[in-house]
């Protein structure tokens, strides 16, 4: 008798192994844990577990202010010409050689975009277009096609 393989529950996406994660995955995990409204930290005075038999600890509650949507960095893929990428890398290298040791490509792009948007009249996208973008982003995250 042939067995029928029915999927009764939706497939749960297993978390990536640490070897498969990149630095941005780790940063996203930290943001998720940091976005909890409050975190309870329990300090334990009993470290050796030989002299003190009762656990007397103080509960400390830490509040985390939520970050607005505009302050959060997002991950986006851009395709740019090789000459632009090389110039960007050279620019960052020059900044670092001249003393700004922690200058990054991200900072360079932010400065370039700030100059691009400076003095420009920019219309905000309508709500329905934003909703379409959000729906598409969620589909991509779940791996579902149209």
Q: What is residue 41's predicted lDDT score, i.e. its pLDDT?
A: 47
With contact defined as beta carbons under 8 Å apart, do 111 and 91 qualify? no
Give me the pLDDT at residue 141, please.
85
Q: Residue 64 has what pLDDT?
A: 47
What is the pLDDT, as a whole number, of residue 77?
86
Question: Nearest-CA neighbor of 31 among 78, 61, 69?
Answer: 69
Give pLDDT, residue 69: 53
**Residue 92 has what pLDDT?**
96
* pLDDT tens per residue across all 146 residues of the chain: 566 656 556 566 666 666 566 666 666 666 655 555 444 444 455 555 565 555 555 444 444 445 555 678 888 888 999 999 999 999 999 999 999 999 999 999 999 999 999 999 999 999 999 999 999 989 888 886 65
Residue in this structure with the two tokens 């996208």, named with its chain if needed = 125
For the chain, what are the domain ranges? 82-146
């Amino acid at each position: 008798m042939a067995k029928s393989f029915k999927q009764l529950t939706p497939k749960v996406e297993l978390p990536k192994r640490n070897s498969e994660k990149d630095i941005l995955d780790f940063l996203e995990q930290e943001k998720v844990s940091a976005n909890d409204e409050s975190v309870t930290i329990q300090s334990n005075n009993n470290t050796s577990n030989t002299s003190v038999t009762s656990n007397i600890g103080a509960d400390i509650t830490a509040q985390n202010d939520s970050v607005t949507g505009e302050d959060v960095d997002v991950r986006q893929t851009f395709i740019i010409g090789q000459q632009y990428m090389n110039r960007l890398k050279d620019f960052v290298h020059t900044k670092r050689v001249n003393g700004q040791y922690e200058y990054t490509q991200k900072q360079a792009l932010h400065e370039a975009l700030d100059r691009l948007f400076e003095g420009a009249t920019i219309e905000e996208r309508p709500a329905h277009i934003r909703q379409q973008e959000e729906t598409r982003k969620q589909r991509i995250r779940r791996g579902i096609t149209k």
